[in-house]
Amino acid sequence: MILVPVSGNTNRKIVLRLNRVGKEEELVIVFAGKGDDRIDLDVSAIHSAPKTKGRVTVRGVLRDRASARVRGLIRINKGAQGSDDFLEERTLLLGKGARIEALPYLEIEADEVRASHAATSSTVDEEQLFYLRSRGLNQAEAERLLITGFLRKAVAGEEDKKLGSKLEKVISYALD
């Protein structure tokens, strides 16, 4: 797994190259913005060899008036028969001025492939907040727990301490 942490004003291009027969790779991008931050991400998974498998997950939290544009591309070149990829973009919006523009798209030049994408944005679930508050947490503690869980889900099942450290920096930025 490759984890790319992003926080604050950022303009990044991130490319996952699947260029060897049978290569499998997972790319996870977690981002956070607050205040007037502007995040611009251009994410690509390029399949140029047969029987490759990729997974791209983008998860982010935007607070206040922060905005983000996430352009996600899965490109499967002509010679990459049997390739498989999925692009997932999920964003949690905290603040009436927070905005996300998710632009997932596919470029498929091969015939026998699987490729798909999904993109969603949402606010904090008021029922979840109510439940946590009814258990003794204040509003800030409840939001902290929900945001942390939302971002950690991107790397669920991974025990690598380096991944955890990178993720914690983004979570800290989102919550401070």
pLDDT digits (tens, 9 = 90+) for 3-50: 999 999 999 999 999 999 999 999 999 999 999 999 999 999 999 999
Q: How far apart are CA 102 and CA 59, in angstroms?
A: 11
- Identify which of 35, 39, 90 has the alpha carbon closest to the alpha carbon of residue 60: 90
- Identify which of 118, 129, 155 has the alpha carbon closest to the alpha carbon of residue 26: 155
Q: What is the structure's pLDDT at 24?
A: 97
Q: How far apart are CA 125 and CA 78, in angstroms?
A: 43
Which pTM was predicted? 0.92
| Average pLDDT of every residue of the chain | 93
pLDDT tens column, 113-154: 999 999 999 998 889 888 998 999 998 888 889 899 999 888
Q: What is the structure's pLDDT at 159?
A: 67
Give the CA radius of gyration of the chain: 17
Which pLDDT band holds residue 160 (cuts at 50, 70, 90)? Answer: low
